[in-house]
A and B are shown apart, each in its own frame.
Chain A
Amino acid sequence: MVLATIFQNGMSIDFYIVLSTILFVIGVVGVLIRRNAIILLMCIELMLNAVNLLMVAFSTYFGKSDGQIFVFFIMVVAAAEATVGLSILVMAYRNIRTTDVGIFNNLKG
């Protein structure tokens, strides 16, 4: 079923620019204020999703599908990144019994 997009109902693209900027900034602030490494990875996912939202908005706005393909590839990369990041985290937790990024500081050689 084909529905009318929200932009055909007179919605401005500004709304999605502001929304995804706010989401991105929330992700950045989350990375800065939290010290749990898992929450940090989640905030990175939030930032990636903010970018995805803006990509889909512009793709729909200009009537070009390419942006949505890129969103698909961003999801692929995000899935790979989350897997490797979490397995590194589990391994680090086994050795130092914490996920505090302040203590990861001691890992440097």
Chain B
Amino acid sequence: MNLETFAIIMGGLTIGSALMVIISKNPVKSVLFLVLTFFFISGNYILMNAQFIAAVNIIVYAGAIMVLFLFVLMLLNLSKENEPKNSVFVKFAALVAGGILFTVLIAALKDGLVIAAATVDQSDTIGLVENLGQLLFTKYVLPFEISSVLFIAAMVGAVLLGKREKQLID
């Protein structure tokens, strides 16, 4: 089995589990399928030799963000019975809109590829930690520092919002 077949199988599994996220009625199943999707996406990163991004994707997305989602889901105590549903007409309209969006995006991206293929210059070490670290702490050091401010703001916001305020109306 060569690498291309492997990539195609991996892509198919990614699409399948992403579809299950929006199809499955139980929100907990949706979260678990999303974790699975992130693992398959990380597999795709490894195929492209982006090892740092693959590791960070698993640690940050599957490890931190999805656990946060799962915690909130457990906290809210939602069940399959009181899951809100849209009407069939809205679902049909959404599917048509999604299909049209897909067609337009593919049609728009199709022509740019001819130019792209000519200037291809492939290197196999760019996804390693050494290269990315060099770039992150020299050229992109200012955005890196600013992102810490963003995290402080998000943390303060989350604590402020999550604090139980005094009930005025009972």
Contacts and interface: CB of A to CB of B under 8 A. Distances in A.
Real binding pair:
yes
On chain A, which size bracket covers the interface? 35 or more
Interface string B18-35: 110110000100110010
Interface string B148-167: 00110111011001101000
A5 B48 contact: yes
A11 B94 CA distance: 33
A27 B4 CA distance: 26
Contacts, number: 251
B162 A9 contact: no
A61 B90 contact: no
5 tightest A-B CB contacts, nearest first? A32-B94, A30-B22, A80-B154, A63-B123, A29-B98
Contacts of A62: 119-122
Contacts of A65: 126-127, 131-132, 135
Given A32-B98, A83-B157, A87-B158, 18 more contacts: A5-B124, A7-B122, A10-B4, A17-B113, A26-B15, A26-B22, A29-B98, A53-B41, A59-B50, A60-B126, A68-B53, A73-B147, A75-B57, A75-B61, A76-B151, A80-B151, A86-B158, A102-B84
B86 A34 contact: yes
Contacts of A56: 44-45, 48, 50, 53, 127
A4 B122 CA distance: 10
A36 B78 contact: yes
B27 A49 contact: no
A10 B19 CA distance: 28
Interface string A81-96: 1111011111101100
